Amino acid sequence: MNPQPAFEFHWLSPLGVSAALFLLYGGLYIFIGVLEPIVREYSSAGQGALIRGDESDAALFGQSPVQLLKDNPQYALLGKILIHWIAALLIMVGIFQLSIVWFGLRQGQAWAFWSLVVGGVAVFPFWFLMFQPYARARIPLLHWDYPPVILIPTLLYFPAVILGWIGLR
């Protein structure tokens, strides 16, 4: 389990690129976690979506998110408060991810790789359940209006896992 002194890490190797992708993924969580409450508080950006994106949410709920928030004033306030909490959770995941990559994966530790794999895959069943109502309402799943906090890590996850696996073999 201790760092292997003989292990040589190179950024331009499969493991190096995997580490870079996982770092980007964790960094993005921290970036969005820090930025989201500020943006929601002081700008109108991001006010047009509830779960997925403006158009998809409008199709699912039968009215535009902006109108929906007007019609559901308590939800509007609740959503604004809860976003701080979700942002904090994103920062927490980001800190964990960055430290596991930096101190574990970069040293060639298999436990770090498998933790990142399991932790990353754990969210997918929840995303699947969350987006099921959109599929049932026949809202195209390939309409790319997913929130960046879900879309970008999902796109980075698979190449990061494949390259990490090749690099550690």
Binding footprint of other proteins on the chain (CB under 8 A): 1-2, 33, 37, 50-51, 61, 68, 71-75, 77-79, 81-82, 84-93, 95-97, 99-100, 103-104, 109, 111-112, 115, 118-120, 122-123, 125-127, 129-130, 133
- 12 or 118, CB closer to other proteins? 118
Alpha carbon of residue 84 to chain centroid: 16
Host H or E run for residue 102: helix 73-103
- 1 or 12, CB closer to other proteins? 1
- 12 or 122, CB closer to other proteins? 122
The nearest distance, CB 83 to other proteins, in angstroms, is 9
- 62 DSSP 8-state letter: S
The nearest distance, CB 45 to other proteins, in angstroms, is 19
- CA dihedral angle for residue 142, residue 143, residue 149, residue 155, rounded to 10 degrees: 30
- 12 or 91, CB closer to other proteins? 91
The nearest distance, CB 123 to other proteins, in angstroms, is 4
Report which residue type is found at 136. R
Q: Are 94 and 16 in contact (CB under 8 A)?
A: no
- 52 DSSP 8-state letter: S
Evaluate the CA torsion angle 23, 92, 77, 43 in order and state its sign.
negative
The nearest distance, CB 153 to other proteins, in angstroms, is 10
